[in-house]
Structure formats: C-alpha cells, structure tokens
Amino acid sequence: MTAARSVYFSFLSHHGRAVSQPLPLPALHASHAGTWLRDANGATRGCSKGEAVMAAADTPQLLMNAPLVASRLGYPDLSGLDLLELFAFVYPARFCVPTPKGLAHALGLEEPADDAAVPLLLQRAAGALVATCESDDWAEREGAWSTLQSLARLRWPWAGVLAPHVSRPERAEKWLFTRLPEWEETAERPQPAQVLIDEPEIEAQLERLTGEGAERREGQRLFSRDAGHVFGPRDRRKRPHVLLAQAGTGIGKTLGYLAPASLWAERSGGTVWVSTYTKNLQRQLRRESRSAWPAARADGSPPVVVRKGRENYLCLLNLEDALQGGFAGRPAILAHLVARWAAYSQDGDMIGGDLPGWLGTLFRKRGIAALTDQRGECVYAGCPHYRKCFIERSARNAAQADLVIANHALVMVNAARGRDPASRPTRIVFDEGHHVFDAADSTFSAALTGQEAIELRRWIVGPEKNSRGRRRGLTARLADVASYDDAGGEAVEDAVVAAQALPSDGWLGRLAENAPLGPLEHLLAAVRATTFARDESGLEMGYGIETETAQLPGELVEAAGTAAQALAAIRTPLLKLAGRLEAIVEDAPDWLDGQGRARIEGARHSLAWRIDLIAAWEALLSRLGGPADPEFIDWLQVDRNDSREFDVGIYRHWLDPMKPFAKVVLEPAHGVMLTSATLTDRDETGPDWPHAITKSGAPHLELAPKTAEAQSPFDYAGRAEVLIVTDIRKGDIPALAGAYARLIEASDGGVLGLFTAIRRMRAVYGRIADRLARAGLPLYAQHVDPIDTGTLTDIFRDDPRASLLGTDALRDGVDVPGRSLRCVVMESVPWPRPTILHRARRAAAAEQEGGAKRYDDRIIRARLAQAFGRLIRTREDAGHFVVLSPAFPSRLLSAFPEGTPVTRLTLEEALQRVANGVVSADLSTAETLPQ
Ligand code: SF4
C-alpha cells in the first residue's frame, strides 16, 4: 500500500481545503447490459465478464455493491474496494440509495449518463469521500481514527487508502460505550385523566395540524370527528369504544386521527398507541406527528416514540462481544462499521431505522441479526451497558410518551405479555387495519418446530461447543442467584439437564438420515416422515409441504407423548426457578440492590414467556391422535426453500384469531380504532360492513362497534385504468416473460410487477433482465438481487426508468408516489394458496352466507384492492393496473374503486394504452363498475 499512498496525497489540500479529485484506482462496473473497466488514470472500456473477474482478482477494483456485481458477473467470490462500505464509514447513519445514481445524489456529484460513465463516477465518489475525511467540517469525524486502526488490523481493503487522510485526533477518542448517553429513570405516569373532547375542538386542532390556509377537506373533518369517539371515557369494564373507519386513499386519515389523539394525550396525560403494518407508514407518522408535537419536551424527553420489537435494535453487549473477538473476518469489519453507526444513530434501530438496509447484505452473513437480541438473552441490569441500552431507552421513552408508533404484532405481544402492565396500550389506533386479522393469526399461533426448540435449548443450556461469542445459558446468567439460593441453583441445574432432550446442532441432517437423537428429534423425524408420506401438493415444486393432523400413525402419536413428557420435565424446574426468583425479590437479601432487582425482574419475565411457550407446546402435543378441537387448526409441515429443508414442525392456529385478540387487546382497552382504505370487502352490492365487524373481533365481546366511511377524493375515473389482458395463457412462461418485457418497454420503466410464486418471478426475471438493461431500463427483483426489500423499494423510487418485480411484501409495503410507479402488472388473479389453514377456514365459511366461494372472493378482492392501491398515492398520480388473466371473473371487479374504467383486451392493445399514458386513454370500451 505504501506505493499507492503517495498517489492519494497528490490530489489533496488545495487552498487549505480538501479538493475532491477522482481517486486514481481502477474501477469496475457490471450491469445486465454489460461490463466496464476503467484504468487508474486511463479510459473506460467495455469488457467481457471473464476479463472483469481477472482484473478484480489481480488488483482491488473500485466497485459498488460487491454482492450485486458478483451476481452480475456470476463470480461469487468477488471482492474489492466497495464504495458502499466507504460511504458507511464516512457517513454513518446517513441515507444513500445504493446505486451509482443514488451515490451521486448523496455526494452532490453529477449523475452518470449511462453504464459506461459509472466507473468514472466511482473514482469521483471515492475521491469525494476521501476528501471529506480531510475536511474540517466532517461532522462524523469523532471516532473515525480509532475505528480505522481496528479496521486496518482486520485488513479492511479501504484502511490503507484512508489511513493518510484520517488524522489522529489530539485527544484520545472516547469509546462508543462511554460516548452514548445514559437514560434516566423516571416516575411512573399516573393514570390518564378522564376527559371528553368535543367536536369543535377536534376540528380546530385538525385545522392547526393541517396548517393555516390548507384546503378544508370535508371527508377528513368527518373522519377526525368520528375518530374522537374512541377517546371518550369508558362506561363499563371490558366495554371499550370501538370504531371501524374506512377512509379512502388521500383523505388525510393520519392527521385525521392524530388531531383527537394529540388533544386527548395533552389533556389526559395518557399515551395513545398507533399501530401500523408497514415501516413506510411508521416513517410517515413520525413525520406527520411533528405538526402536533415538538421533537422534545422542555425536559428533553421525546413526546413521540417509535417502538419496535427488541430484535430490531442493536444490543450493545453483543456488539462489544463482536468487537472483542466474537466475530472474525468480514463479520468483524461489519461490527466496526455498525459501532461507528451506533454512535450517530438516532435510536439504535437496525431494521428499517437509520442503519442503511444494504449494509448487512454487503457482508452476506447473518451479521446484523447476531448483533441484535434475537433470542431474548438480555441480562438486563446485569449488563454493563444497561443504562445506555437502546432497547431499554426506547421502552422507557415509550412509557412516558404521548404517542407511541408501533406495529400490530408488537401491540398484540405487549398487550398479551408486556413487562410492565402499566405501559400496556389502552387507547389504540390500528392503521392499515385490514392487516389486523393476519397479525393476530400469527401472534396467537403456536409452532413446535426444530428451529424454535433449538433456540429454547440454547437459551437454557447455552451454545454448543465451537460457537464463538458470549452467548451463555441460564447457569451463567443466574450464577449469583444459584450461589445464594440452593433451591434456585438446583432448579437451574435440573432445567439444563432436562433441556438435553431438545434438538441440538445438526438435527436437520440427522432427521434426513433417519438418525434422530433424543425425544424431540424423534418426534420431528416422525413428523417429517408422515408429511412426506402424505403430501400430494408440491413435492416436485421445492417449496414447503404440509399435512393435517388427522389419522396420524401410531409411532407419531407415541413420539408426541414422549416428547410432551420431556417438555414437562423442562417446564417443572423452570417453574420452580420462577418461584425462587419471586421469593428472592420479595424477601430481598442485602446484596440485592436496585440493579440486581431489575435483572431478576427481567429474568422472571423471560422465564414466564418460556414457561408459557413450553405449556403451549405440551397442549399442542396432547391433542395429537385425539379428537380435533373445532377452535383450532393443527397441521404438520416441512419448510423448504429450493428443495433445501430448513425447518420441520407442528403448527396450531386459531380458527378465528380475533377471539384471543378480543380477549387480550380489546377487552382491557378503553378505546380502539381500526382504520384502512380497504377495511370492508366490496361486492356488487357495496361495502360489506357486517363482515368487517365480525373480522374486528368485537362480536366476541358482544360489542357493536361504530362504523364510519369517507370516500377517496381521487379522480380514479380520469387517472387510472384497469386493463385485463386476455391472451396470455396461464402457465406459458415465455409468453408471460414477453408480456412483462413489452409492458415495461411500453411504459418506459416505472412498472411494479407482482407475482404469486417466487419461482415464476425468477423465471421471468431471468428471461428479460438483460434485454431491458440494454434498453436502459433497469430491472430489480426480490429474492433474486442480493438486496433487502426496503432498499429495493428505495432504488425503484429513485429511478423513474427502473422496474421492480416482487411478491406479497411488495403488494402491501410499496409507497411510491409520483412518476416512479406508473404501472402495476399482476401475473394473474391472486387466488389464495390452498393450504390446510385456508381450507379449514374456507370450510367454516361454507356454512355462512355466500359460502366458501364468497370467502375466496373476499381474499382475492382484498389483494386486488391492495395492489391497486400502490398505483395512485397522490392526486397527481396516474397509471395503469394490468392483470394478465384470460378469465377474470366480473364479480371481482368491485375490488377497484368506484368509477375506475376496466377494459378487457389483447396484449397488443394493452401495450398501446400503456404507451399512450392513462390520461389520454380512450375509455369508451370500458366496463362500468358498480356504483
Ligand atoms: S441490556 Fe440487554 S439488550 Fe441491552 S445491551 Fe445489555 S444485554 Fe443487550
């Protein structure tokens, strides 16, 4: 590196300031359209993939997103000087779309005109980033020098390049763990005051929030007044106010409910929880809440807090462990970049917060997950970083907040088993309320699978040999309790011995070889064998397979009995231990200070959760072989991905998950609102409110919720058109791929392609990506590009010529207003997958009005409505919604907003319409939708 250093020095210090010059290092760029190399000081030239691979093996090349370039070159071992890693070092916690264009924007450089211009951009961007390190006003200088020394020891490719430019600070830099601020303990909030907010006050507040002179929107005012209803005092126990409010896109429903919520929080001193399904909406809520609340109160505390599950946040203890040898090689480099980010992060949220979503994927392993507290191994007050812990800070902030923004799963989990009953949500707005059923379905389900069981083993026993890091079992975590309390110590020992019955490392391999170890592995082996023996659905397709729990073979029932006994033998000492911990807290010994007490409280909480989990597994097993419980649906499943098995287990779901939801969430609440643009199904006769009410869970408490509806102000008739393409045969992959390519070309990019099967999506992508790239139309795809879904959406949003293919997650989570999304193409009618769970609910629905067919129709209409909802996000948006389906039933058309023109046509005709743009489309042949 010494020879190279003198070169880097030569372009610095111009008039005392760092001047950005291209960094004279060779650069490499590869896309679907081709491959380009640029010499250190020379010209850019196109080259073959083989040549690019040779060049990269020879000299480290500047490149962008190494895993993506590697996949384009078909050479997985590619490495080099990745601009994204350099960006993460220089600008931790700053946003950057990880494309050449996005990098140019983030650094204020000129966009590359085409692929051939990218290598020069990479040199310029590297020059700009290196120059920043020399600049006096580099805001993120603190900590950089120390991190760089560690990264140099780890042979980070950039370390030698940066070393001459990052000056050694005069005073030693503080270590991350001393730099982070401590949270303060605060008094518990009193119960909220009982206040009544009247409608004129709500309207005045709404006007204040929307801003002086903003256009008065009648729909929004009505919605806001209705929302105020849930904040009134409750008349009887277990009788919350429940409101179901359907609000079409563009109503302004967020400010609509924040108006009464903010008034109520201010007057009552209580906390309102707003629950969302997507991270997009969480971000929007954080933005919009700024009109109602300041960023900080006079005492510095935040009135608005985003609260996520603990597995989202950086665990400082895990990070410390990773920095001190727990991680080696590339993951260790990631840990240092994460440590640098942690010092600048707003809240330590690693998933969807200010840590770039692309950072983890650059390192290819599960590094990010290992830095969070995935397994509930937190030692609470026993942790040296407890007072600085991001998770603890967020929980404390939430307990004092006026507004907590969370997601459906967390709200349900908190209501069910929140650590502190006083901070359980009692006034809740479920936005994206059409997802509450699915969130309840997974929250209140039980699964006894190999992966879950091995997690439990690790939590009790600790890691198996050969694993690095600090992960420790119960014995180590509760060492002081064991030494003080004999009975507690014995219980820990007994639990550790009993937990040997759980699956251990290598269990999947042993199952495949029919050589299971211990009672749980025997059970899983029997589950696997039965599932394979019976499944008739998708063996050759390579995806998950399943079978119902009826008529099970004797060996499986027997194995279930033995496994249940083994589980009971684990639960018994854990229960005893919980009792001992309770006794210690009640009759506190001298050594138990406040911190020790908090740690034992933490341990009790996580013990209780495990005890419940094991009890649920025992209950699940006790039913196998016996009569079925009509309230539940049980099945056996083998999870596979491309024929590779990754889990085996027994599943149990509620037939109606809104029953536990009503008990756990609604009953203790005072006011609950469910709102969405698609809360009700709409058939030919209009919105189906009785069904929406049933689906809210309210009837389980014999509540009759209030309902409200506000129509979207958008001009769907003039700005959107549904095109049903009738000449692409189902299952004809070449025709399907051709249709996608031509539609993307006709609309000049800006297409969101939605698929119901990953396999078909991959096949289409593989056939068309190169052709489109050559036309300057980049194509990205979920499950193909090594990029997380949030980042893919950022890339799509940033480039109006880009298109994106994906599955369900995109149908719900993409919020791309403006020109970047102007056409949605669905590969077919989104029929529900005929799973055992679906079949059982369908069979139950068969006895109700409309029968099983109506049950399916509702699901499809909801999916269509959600997918259509991606298209028109603002008043100015316009576009086409294309479904490739020779036989699209007319009864499903009511999924689209009233007045939207629908035309059945050939692909050729559709291409013309898409190319012309929707506003000028000839709508004369359109079907009329029910009004
Ligand atoms: S308190 Fe728990 S989650 Fe927080 S840093 Fe320590 S171990 Fe990690």
What would the pLDDT profile of 312-357 be if each residue is shown by its tens digit? Answer: 999 999 999 999 988 888 999 999 999 999 999 999 999 888 999 8
* Paired residues of 927 in beta bridges: 902
Q: Rounded to an integer, what distance in angstroms lies between the CA atom of residue 578 and that of residue 586?
A: 12
Q: Whose CA is nearest to atom 2 of ligand 1?
A: 378
Q: Which residues, 6 or more positions from 215, have their beta carbon under 8 angstroms from its beta carbon?
A: none
Q: 417 alpha carbon to ligand 1 midpoint, in Å? A: 19
d(CA 860, CA 849): 18
- State CA 574 to chain mean position distance: 32
Residue with more model confidence, 475 or 234:
234
pLDDT at 10 over 70: no
Band the pLDDT of 602: cuts 50, 70, 90.
confident
Taking CA atoms, 318 is separated from 335, 385, 468, 863, in Å, by 10, 10, 11, 40
Q: How far apart are CA 905 and CA 884, in angstroms?
A: 10
Ligand 1 probe mutation, 177, 312, 317, 419, most atoms within 8 A of CB:
317
CA of 110 to the centre of ligand 1 (A): 43
The order of strands in the sheet holding 304-306 is 304-306, 403-407, 272-276, 427-430, 671-676, 241-247, 706-710
For the stretch 880-896, pLDDT in tens is 999 999 989 999 999 99
428 C-alpha vs ligand 1 centroid, how far in Å? Answer: 28
User: What token pair was written down for 692?
Assistant: 């929406």
Contacts for 690 with CB less than 8 Å, ≥ 6 apart: none
Tokens 């009971």, residue located: 568
CA proximity to 96, closest of 569, 702, 798? 798
CA 209–ligand 1 middle distance (angstroms) = 38
pLDDT tens-place string over residues 256-293:
999 999 999 999 999 999 999 988 888 889 999 999 99
Task: Tell me the average pLDDT across 407-422.
Answer: 82
Ligand 1 centroid from CA 702, angstroms = 42
Q: Give mean pLDDT, residues 126-144.
A: 94
Distance, in Å, from the CA atom of 254 to the CA atom of 252, rounded to the nearest integer, reads: 6
Q: Which residue has the tokens 């996520």?
A: 308
* Alpha-helix residue ranges (DSSP H) falling in 31-143: 49-58, 66-73, 83-90, 100-107, 118-134
- Closest Cα to atom 7 of ligand 1: 378
Residue whose C-alpha is closest to residue 391's, from 401, 378, 402: 378
In ligand 1, the atom with minimum distance to the C-alpha of 389 is 4
Over range 559-564, report the average pLDDT: 97
What is this structure's pTM? Answer: 0.89
Closest C-alpha to 147, from 409, 334, 416, 382: 334
Ligand 1 mean position to 472 CA, how many Å? 13
For residue 611, the one-letter residue type is I
In tens, the pLDDT along 149-172 reads 999 999 999 999 999 999 999 888
Q: How far apart are CA 864 and CA 357, in angstroms?
A: 28
pLDDT recorded at residue 16: 39
Structure tokens at 116: 């051939």
Burial class of residue 14 in the structure, from the number of CB atoms within 10 Å of its CB (0-12 exposed, 13-18 middle, 19+ buried)? exposed
Mean pLDDT confidence for 573-591: 87
Q: Which atom of ligand 1 is nearest the CA belonging to 386?
A: 1
Residue 374 has pLDDT above 60, yes or no: yes
Q: Tell me how many degrees the CA angle 265-266-272 measures, rounded to the nearest 5.
A: 10
**Angle at CA 82, nearest 5°, toward 79 and 85?**
120
C-alpha–C-alpha distance, residues 118 and 99, integer Å: 10
Cα–Cα distance measured from residue 474 to residue 481, given in angstroms and rounded to the nearest whole number: 11
> What is the C-alpha to C-alpha distance for residues 397 and 403, in angstroms, rounded to an integer?
10
**Ligand 1 centroid distance, CA of 184 (Å):** 16
Least reliable range by pLDDT among 58-62, 209-213, 589-593, 779-783: 589-593
For residue 419, the model assigns a pLDDT of 64
Tokens 């969070």 correspond to: 372
Task: Work out the number of other CB atoms within 10 angstroms of the CB of residue 834.
Answer: 11
CA–CA gap between residue 863 and residue 106 (Å, rounded): 36
Closest CA to 716 of 890, 896, 889, 894: 896
How many whole angstroms from 316 Cα to the centroid of ligand 1?
Answer: 6
Least confident interval from 520-524, 560-564, 643-647, 911-915? 643-647
| Cα separations in angstroms, 134 against 4, 96, 108, 276, 337 | 17, 21, 17, 43, 19
Helix, strand, coil tally for the chain in percent (to 5): 50, 15, 35
Per-chain mean pLDDT for the chain: 89
Residue from 293, 289, 290, 292 nearest 274 by CA: 289
Residue 208 pLDDT level (bands cut at 50, 70, 90): very high
pLDDT tens readout for residues 681-697 = 988 888 999 999 999 99
Place of tokens 């009569």: 627
Q: What are the residues facing 17 on neighbouring strands?
A: 14
Residue showing tokens 């049933």: 694
- Cα(777) to ligand 1 centroid in Å equals 46
**In the prediction, which pLDDT does 126 show?**
97
CA of 182 to the centre of ligand 1 (A): 13
Q: Which atom of ligand 1 is found nearest the CA of 316? A: 5
Helix (H) or strand (E) run with residue 661 in it: helix 658-661
Q: Is the pLDDT of residue 7 over 50?
A: no
Instruction: Choose the residue to mutate in 385, 396, 599 for probing ligand 1, maximizing ligand atoms within 8 Å of C-beta.
Output: 385
Residues lining ligand 1, Cβ inside 6 A: 315-317, 373, 378-380, 383, 385-386, 389, 391-392
Nearest ligand 1 atom, CA 381: 1
**Through-space distance between the first and last CA atoms of the chain, rounded to whole angstroms:** 72
- Dmax (CA) of the chain: 85
Distance 376 CA to ligand 1 centre (A): 9
- Give the residue whose CA is nearest to atom 8 of ligand 1: 315
What burial class does residue 775 get, using C-beta atoms within 10 Å of its C-beta: 0-12 exposed, 13-18 middle, 19+ buried? middle
Question: Sign of dihedral through CA atoms 549, 555, 558, 563?
Answer: negative
Q: Which atom of ligand 1 is nearest to the CA of 377?
A: 7
Report how far residue 654's alpha carbon sits from residue 445's, in angstroms, rounded to the nearest whole number. 7
Do 907 and 727 meet the contact criterion of CB atoms below 8 Å apart? yes
Q: Write the CA distances from 616 to 66, 558, 619, 643, integer angstroms.
A: 45, 19, 5, 30
Pocket test for ligand 1, best of 323, 372, 383 (most atoms within 8 A of CB): 383
Q: What is the pLDDT of residues 630-648, one digit of tens each?
A: 999 999 999 987 778 999 9
| SS3 state of residue 537 | coil
Look up tokens 């109700």; give the residue.
848
Backbone angles phi, psi at 34, to 5 degrees: 160, -170
Distance 315 CA to ligand 1 centre (A): 5
- As a whole-number percent, the residues of the chain with pLDDT over 70 amount to 93
Residue 146, pLDDT above cutoff 80: yes
Most informative mutation of 308, 310, 313, 315 for ligand 1 (most atoms within 8 A of CB): 315
Q: Could you tell me the two tokens for 422?
A: 């006083």
Is the pLDDT assigned to residue 571 strictly greater than 90? yes
Expressed in angstroms and rounded, the spacing between residue 596 Cα and the centre of ligand 1 is 14
Are 673 and 227 within 8 A, CB to CB? Answer: yes
Q: What is the mean pLDDT of residues 173-186?
A: 85
C-alpha triplet 829, 834, 838: angle, nearest 5°: 105
How many Å is the Cα radius of gyration of the chain?
Answer: 29
Looking at residues 409-416, what average pLDDT do you find?
90
DSSP string, 730-743: TT-HHHHHHHHHHH
3-state secondary structure at position 417: helix
* Å from CA of 387 to ligand 1 middle: 9
pLDDT in tens, 910-923: 999 999 987 644 44
Ligand 1 centroid to residue 610 C-alpha, Å? 19
Distance (Å) from CA 348 to ligand 1 centroid? 12
Measured by CA distance, the residue closest to atom 4 of ligand 1 is 389
CA distance 742 to 754: 16
- Other Cβ atoms within 10 Å of 114 Cβ, number: 10
Alpha-carbon distance of 897 to 12, in angstroms, equals 59
Examine the pLDDT at 931 and tell me if it is beyond 80: no
